[in-house]
Chain A
Amino acid sequence: MRIGVKASGTLKSPLLLARFRAGPGAEGDARAAHDVVRHDFDLSGVFAVSDTEPLTEKLTPNPAAQGSVRVEGMVEVAGAGLQFTGEALDIGTAESVFKRTYPATRSDLRRAMHRFNDDVIEALTGERGIAETRIAFVRQSGRLKEVWIADYDGENARQLTHDSTIALSPAWAPWGSEIAFTTFKRGNPDLYLFDLGRGASYPFSTRPGLNTAPCYSPDGKWIACTLSRDGNAEIYLVSRDAQTARRLTRNQRIDSSPSFSPTGNQIAFTSDRSGSPQVYVMDVEGSNQRLLTLEGRYNDSPQWSPKGDRIVYASRHDAVFDVIVMDANGQNSVQVTFQAGHNENPRWSADGRKIYFSSSRSGRRQLYLMNPDGSDVVQLTKGGESFNPAAGPRARKRTQAAGPG
């Protein structure tokens, strides 16, 4: 583990963000819209943002500033609501790269700005941003732990489950309208599926013993999870219609926390089969199980990056936990958190440009967001205690007939 070395992965493009112009009666909205977009661009991990005044005349090409971007925006009152017009210009060529008008109301202006941010990032990089995505996580108050949901930046947090017991380990379905999680509401750690459309949850696996650590397969047809019905924690594939459960691991030690590769053909997981938890990987059929983490004595909570090239996990060293990023082949592990306290539960954002994690650096556990090289750490939650982040997918469209049933 190269402790202290920061991966030089992210090269940020300079972005000049102009103060948004405002139509009559929309001055406050323009300022609000600007602040949302400014925050989005900052969090994106793609841009190095600086502020500027809006253009007063046509932009002239500046070949020296090749690759730099300028963003202009204007908010106007339109009918009963608002409209926002945003444009991204290449400073090098002075050409417009992206321009669009977004209808909005005062209450959903934030959402419109998130969309603009993602559109600009897609236009410039070919890969959509995550400002429109949401996160699920666990918030503790007193002895109760419930699953919550929030915008990608922690805003608009609201409580999802009301089980009045312990709810844990939320995981998003690939189509984005369902969350699998563990709940003790029937007295046993059972897996339930929360349907965001209906606002209700229903049981998925209530087998005796553990029903924990869910992870959807990329095609949404299977949920890999931990069951202990045969004695101790083993990884199973349970079909989403809950008819078949296929056991993948078998030993007298712990196997848990499965994470699919984006191809769906491999699963990374935690096992203490060699005496302490380590990250292993297997073919999706359960064969070819092999050690992945070659360094560190205590490695847990692996998650495969959306592109499949890297795996993030939590490692215990010198009595603290820190987040480690490594190549998917187990090479080049780099520690990316260094603050005091425990840094755990790492989870990739949908675009793989960010990592969510929980940290006790400020006392109680809270959620944070950072770049995969450990830079730009931002705290997302305050008050109470929050952990177990899970980043939602970008596309909300349902890709296959895998609805509830």
Chain B
Amino acid sequence: MRRTPRIATLALATLLAGMLVALGCSSRKQVTTAETTPPPAPPTETETAPPPPSAPPPSETTTEPQASALQDAFFDFDAADLRADAKSALENNGKYLERAGSASVVIEGHCDERGSVEYNLALGERRARAAKDFLVSYGIPATRLTTISYGKERPFDAGHDESAWAKNRRAHFVSK
């Protein structure tokens, strides 16, 4: 009989402690989640981080908190070298793709209407490759990036002046 209350006390204490553990932990969790809501804990290579807010593959319309949607990289006439503005566009795309989990994209190489069909297909290929090489160096796995050249066959602007041509000389990103 004497033992019962002792056991009861022990059980009570344990229960209390357990409740405290649960309470304490849950309260911490609440704090953390409340703090986390703005930007998520950034994913690292090893961590299996929770997927970014919009888990589905990025589309051109989705807006990310930090990296904006995939941007086109533009080129000079008869050139596949990356201009400064092309590099910053690709840097943005690199950030975006890092946060986009394992989403794959197609990089389309395009040219303006000047010159032969065949030469421009090759030039578009170089532009798409230049964009891809940049992103691979940035850290995006090459397996997520495929390239295709449309040469001058799929212009964005059907005009026949420099303003149209400048828009058509691009590496264009399309999510798979």
Q: Confirm or deny: B86 has a beta carbon within 8 angstroms of a beta carbon on chain A.
A: no
Chain B residue numbers with a CB within 8 Å of A83 are none
B72 at the interface (CB under 8 A from A): no
CB of B122 within 8 A of CB of A388, answer no
Question: Could you show 20 A-B contacts with beta carbons less than 8 Å apart?
Answer: A166-B150, A168-B118, A168-B153, A169-B118, A184-B150, A209-B125, A209-B147, A210-B149, A213-B121, A228-B125, A233-B125, A256-B118, A257-B119, A270-B118, A298-B78, A301-B118, A316-B114, A345-B116, A345-B117, A387-B117
B125 to A257, Cβ gap below 8 A? no
Q: A29 near B: Cβ within 8 Å? A: no
Contact B154 A143 (CB under 8 A): yes
Taken together as a complex, chains A and B put the C-alpha atoms of A321 and B114 apart, in Å, by: 9
Is A73 an interface residue when CB atoms closer than 8 A count as contact?
A: no
Which residues of A312-357 have CB atoms within 8 Å of chain B's CB atoms? 314, 316, 321, 342, 344-345
Bound Cα distance A212, B151 (Å): 11
Question: A388 near B117 (CB under 8 angstroms)?
Answer: yes
Residues in A lying within 8 Å of B, measured CB to CB: 138, 143, 145, 166, 168-169, 182, 184, 187-189, 209-210, 212-213, 226, 228, 231-233, 254-257, 270, 272, 276-277, 298, 300-301, 314, 316, 321, 342, 344-345, 387-388
**Does chain A have a CB within 8 A of B126?**
yes
Also in contact, A254 and B122, with CB within 8 A (given A143-B154, A145-B153): yes
B115 interface contact, C-beta 8 A: yes
Task: A270 to B151: give the CA distance in the assembly, Å.
Answer: 16
Q: A221: shortest Cβ distance to chain B, in Å?
A: 22
Q: Which residues of A contact B78 (CB under 8 A)?
A: 272, 276-277, 298
Query: Which of A138, A182, A231, A321 touches B129 (beta carbons < 8 Å)?
Result: A231
Q: For the complex, is B123 an interface residue (Cβ under 8 Å from A)? A: yes
The verdict on B164 contacting chain A, using a C-beta distance below 8 Å, is no
Residue of B nearest to A365 (CB): B113
Chain A residues in 8 Å Cβ range of B122? 210, 212, 226, 228, 232-233, 254-256
B166 CB-CB contact with A under 8 Å: no
Q: Could you say which of B116, B123, B148, B154 contacts A257, with CB atoms under 8 Å apart?
A: B116
* Given A257-B118, A270-B119, residue A187 in contact with residue B148 (CB < 8 A): yes
A residues in contact with B148, CB < 8 Å: 187-189
In the complex, what distance in Å separates the CA atom of A254 from the CA atom of B147? 16
Question: If the complex has contacts A143-B154, A166-B150, A166-B153, are A256 and B114 also in contact, measured as CB distance less than 8 A?
Answer: no
Instruction: Specify which chain B residues have a CB less than 8 angstroms from the CB of A143 in the assembled complex.
Output: 154
Q: Count of chain B residues with Cβ under 8 Å from any Cβ of A?
A: 19
Q: In the complex, which residues of chain A have a beta carbon less than 8 angstroms from the beta carbon of B125?
A: 209-210, 228, 232-233
7 additional A-B pairs beyond A276-B78, A298-B115, A388-B117, beta carbons within 8 Å, are: A166-B154, A168-B121, A189-B121, A212-B118, A232-B126, A254-B126, A257-B119
Closest chain-B Cβ to A69's Cβ sits at a distance in Å of: 40
Which chain A residue shows the least CB distance to B160? A360
Bound-state Cα–Cα, A233 to B151, Å:
12
Question: Counting chain A CB atoms within 10 Å of each CB, which of B125, B149, B154 scores highest?
Answer: B125
Q: Determine which of B119, B121, B149, B154 lies in contact with A300 in the assembled complex, contact meaning CB atoms within 8 Å.
A: B119
Which listed residue, A138, A182, A187, A277, touches B119 by the CB 8 Å rule? A277
Contacts of A209 in B (CB 8 A): 125, 147
Among the listed A169, A276, A298, which residue makes an inter-chain contact with B117, where contact means beta carbons less than 8 Å apart? A169
Query: How many angstroms from the CA of A213 to the CA of B153 in the assembled complex?
Result: 15
**Cα distance A212–B122 in the bound complex, in angstroms:** 9
Closest CB-CB distance, B119 to chain A, in whole Å? 5
| Interface contact B123-A254, CB-CB below 8 Å | yes
> Contacts of B123 on A, CB cut-off 8 Å?
254
Q: B163 CB to closest chain A CB, in angstroms? A: 15
User: Known interface pairs A187-B148, A298-B78. Does A168 touch B119 (Cβ–Cβ under 8 Å)?
Assistant: no
Per CB-CB distance, the 6 closest pairs between chain A and chain B, nearest first, are A233-B122, A213-B118, A254-B122, A256-B122, A257-B118, A301-B116
Report yes or no: A316 in contact with B115, Cβ–Cβ below 8 A: yes
**A265→B52 CA distance, assembly (Å):** 59
Task: Enumerate chain A residues within 8 angstroms of B118, measured Cβ to Cβ.
Answer: 168-169, 212-213, 226, 256-257, 270, 301
Given contacts A145-B153, A166-B153, A232-B129, contact A210 B121 (CB under 8 A): yes
Min Cβ gap A257→B in Å is 5
B147: which A residues are within 8 A, CB to CB? 209
- Taking the closest CB of chain B, its distance from the CB of A275, in whole angstroms, is 9
> Please, how many angstroms separate the alpha-carbon atoms of A316 and B119 in the complex?
13
Q: What residues of chain B lie closer than 8 Å to A188, measured between beta carbons? A: 148
